[in-house]
Structure 1
Amino acid sequence: MNAILKFILLALPYFFMVLGVGIYMRVRPELFGIPFFYWYQLVWIFLAAILTYTVYAIESHERRGLNVHRP
């Protein structure tokens, strides 16, 4: 897989959590009484974990593929 795509997958949470303050700097809409600010950040915590694991799984699969061809 392309290294740039892996970088983008890992940079997305950073971009939307740190640089995207203008996106989540509000109270509405609420979800079960929880302001948008809190549940937006909580969702990104789980998404960041999923994206990080995805890149890790791709990397380990690629490395296993490289080891198969070695004598």
Structure 2
Amino acid sequence: MQKTETEDAHGAGTPRHRSAWNHLLWIPIVLPLLTFVFNHDGPRVFGFPFFYWFQLLCAVLSMVTIALVRRLTGRDR
């Protein structure tokens, strides 16, 4: 039996969404891996070194990006 485009590896009928908006998900994946971007102490925000508040900013950016892609691809149920 051949799998249709809407079947996954287990045969479930979940649709596959292939949209150009999904490429935005690379931003929160790659940005924290670029250590040269945040490998310094300053500037400090409320006494926190750049490294710490940049990581928190990346977490917020990830949440916003995932929500945006989900909304733009029409996968909100």
- The higher radius of gyration belongs to 2
State how far apart, in whole Å, the 1-side matches of 2:38 and 2:31 are: 9
- 2:9 maps to none
The structure whose residues are more often helix, as a share, is 1
SS in 2 for 1:57: helix
Decide whether aligned partners of structure 1 residues 59 and 4 sit closer, same or farther in structure 2, where only a CA change above 3 A counts: closer
Query: For structure 1, which runs of at least 5 residues remain unmatched after alignment?
Result: 65-71
Whether contact under 8 Å (2:21, 2:72) holds in the other structure is no
Aligned-pair identity in percent equals 27
* Alignment equivalent of 2:61, drawn from 35, 43, 47: 47
Residue number in structure 2 paired with 1:35: 49
What is the aligned partner in structure 2 of residue 4 from structure 1?
A: 20
User: Is the aligned partner of 1:24 residue 2:41?
Assistant: no
What is the distance in 1 between the residues matched to 2:39 and 2:29?
16
Letter in 2 for 1:12: I
* 3-state secondary structure, aligned to 1:37: helix
Task: Give 1:35 shift.
Answer: 0.3
In structure 2, relative to structure 1, the CA distance for the partners of 1:5 and 1:60 (3 Å cut) is closer
Q: Which runs of 5+ in 2 are unaligned?
A: 1-17
CA distances 1:11-62 after superposition (whole Å, capped 9, x unpaired): 00111101x100101111100100000000101100110010011011226x
- Normalising by the residue count of structure 1, what TM-score does the alignment of the two structures yield? 0.72
